[in-house]
Structure 1
Amino acid sequence: MRLLAVLDRADTAVFTLEALAGLLNRLGPADSTILHVEPVRDPDYLSPDEGMPGKTEHERFVHTVSARADTLRQIALEWTRAATPPRDTAWTERVGDVRTLVAREAAGADITVLSRPLPHDDSAVAEAFAGALYDAQAAVLIAPLEHCATFGQHPVVAWHPSYSLDLAVQAALPLLERASRVTFIIGENTPMEVPAPPLGAVLAQMGVSVQVDRFLLGAGDTGEQVRQRALAVGGDLLVMGAYTRPHFIEWLFGGPTQDILAHGTLPILTRHAPLVGLQS
């Protein structure tokens, strides 16, 4: 198994690395890599209307990019050395188009760990997110913005049958099979309208404790209701399908579905469905 973690901000790097550590601890030995991409174009001057950066602006941009890389490299080094025994995780730096390079690396990974998007992120963060989840159509683990006491011991699956959920569950299956307990939460408009998840019986036969938690959806945002329910049942990982493209853009840059990312306190494992065979 190959795991990839993308570091793009110093303030979220520790949480991203904790999520990577959670995967390594639950899955056992794996080929793991930490990636940082240094952009070559100043995000303040991406369109012709914004003109060309002057010498001062260019030097400022180069200094900022270099300083960020130095900081993230040191954070990764300290994280690697802190483990007992030290983790054999490779550090990789690339220079170029962030979205393209992240997509290329994520396409070869089984799971890619990303930082949680924040409202005022620069464009490189959004490009990395889009490159991994949308362009590479990779399974993505979105790290929380706080320390979590456990990871993967009690995954919660937001069950709403769709192709994107099938892909997310497929990526999460090694974690689900190793879990102490798995809860399927099912938000419904009317009671018992969604059939019981067939995967529950499969996991139960493997000795995993399985629960199905149904609840009626209210008038508010569905994503927020799912988040609250996942927290209420004591989950430490949320598995859910990503949205089709219009909702995906909302998810990245705001709108109704941003809620589950903006306020989430759980790692989220998700995957975006390709256009071919898309059902969600």
Structure 2
Amino acid sequence: MRLLAVLDRVDTAPFTLEALAGLLNRLGPAQSRILHVAPSRDPDYLSPDEGMPDAAEHARFEHTVSAQTDTLRQIAQEWTQAVIPHRDTAWTERVGDTRTLVAREAAGADITVLSRPSPQDNAAVAEAFAGALYDAGAAVLIAPLEHYATLGLRPVVAWHPSHTLDLALQAARPILERASHVTFVIGENAPMEVPDPPLGAELARQGVAVHMDRFLLDTGDIGEQVRQHALSAGGDLLVMGAYTRPHFIEWLFGGPTQDILAHGTLPILTRHAPLVRL
């Protein structure tokens, strides 16, 4: 298993690394790397009508980028030394286009850990998500912005049969098989409308405790209902399929999963299905 953690913000880096440690603890022996991409161009000057930065502005940009890289490197080094059990996790720095470089690195990983984005983030955070989720088609673990004592011990699967969920479950399978308890949250329009997931029986045969949490959908946000059931189940990881949207920020702040990602307090493991062009 190959794991990649992308550090792009000082304030979220500890939570991203904690999520990486949680994966390592659940999966056992695994290769892990930490990646930071330093942008080579100031995102404030990416379009022709915004002009070019003068020497002072360019110097400020380079100083900001360098300072952030130094701080993130220090955070990563301290985490590597403190994490128990000790993990030999490599630190990798790249300079250039964030989306391209993250996509390239994520393509070689089984799971890529990213921080939860927010509307206030700079363009590089959204570009990292787009590179990993859409360009690389990687399984992405979205780290929560709070401490979690465990990750994947009691995962919750938002069960809605789809190709994207199949892809997410493929990445999550080693975690589910090592879990102590797995809950399948199933929203229905009528009682027992959705058959029991075959995966539940497979996990049960392997000795994993499995629970089917069915509920009737109401007129409110489906994502919020799933979140509440996941939290009620004591979940420490939510596995769900990613909706097919052209841009991550649209998907995050204006798409069907807006409530899950904007208000979710769980780590989220998801994967995107590339569009099929005919």
TM range, normalised to the smaller chain? Answer: over 0.9
Structure 1 residue identity aligned to 2:181? R
User: Residues 65-104 of structure 1 correspond to what in structure 2 (within 5 A)?
Assistant: 65-104=65-104
Equivalent residue number for residue 140 of structure 1: 140
SS in 2 for 1:156: strand
1:266 aligns with 2:236: no
* Alignment check: 8 A CA contact 2:21 2:83 kept: no
Distance 1:162 1:222 in 2: 16
Q: CA deviation at 1:255?
A: 5.0
Equivalent residue number for residue 199 of structure 2: 199
Q: CA deviation at 1:252?
A: 3.2
Distance 2:211 2:271 in 1: 23
* Alignment check: 8 A CA contact 1:116 1:144 kept: yes
- Structure 1 residues 38 and 9, CA gap change in structure 2 (3 angstroms): same
Structure 2 residue identity aligned to 1:269? L
* Alignment check: 8 A CA contact 1:38 1:95 kept: yes
Q: How many residues align?
A: 278
Equivalent residue number for residue 61 of structure 2: 61
CA deviation map 1:103-131 (0-9, x unaligned): 00000000000000111100000000110
1:209 aligns with 2:202: no
Equivalent residue number for residue 174 of structure 1: 174
Q: CA RMSD in A?
A: 1.5
Comparing 238-247 with 86-95, greater Cα deviation is found at: 238-247
- Structure 1 residues 249 and 12, CA gap change in structure 2 (3 angstroms): closer
Q: CA deviation at 1:219?
A: 1.4
User: Residues 159-170 of structure 1 correspond to what in structure 2 (within 5 A)?
Assistant: 159-170=159-170
CA deviation map 1:33-85 (0-9, x unaligned): 00000001111111111111111111111111000000000000000000245
* Alignment check: 8 A CA contact 1:250 1:257 kept: no
Comparing 241-250 with 265-274, greater Cα deviation is found at: 241-250
Distance 1:158 1:234 in 2: 14
* Alignment check: 8 A CA contact 1:126 1:252 kept: no
* Alignment check: 8 A CA contact 2:129 2:248 kept: no
SS in 1 for 2:157: strand
Alignment gaps of 5+ in structure 2: none
Distance 1:166 1:60 in 2: 46
SS in 1 for 2:11: helix
TM-score, length-normalised on structure 1? Answer: 0.96
* Alignment check: 8 A CA contact 1:165 1:242 kept: yes
* Alignment check: 8 A CA contact 1:242 1:248 kept: no
Distance 2:186 2:79 in 1: 37
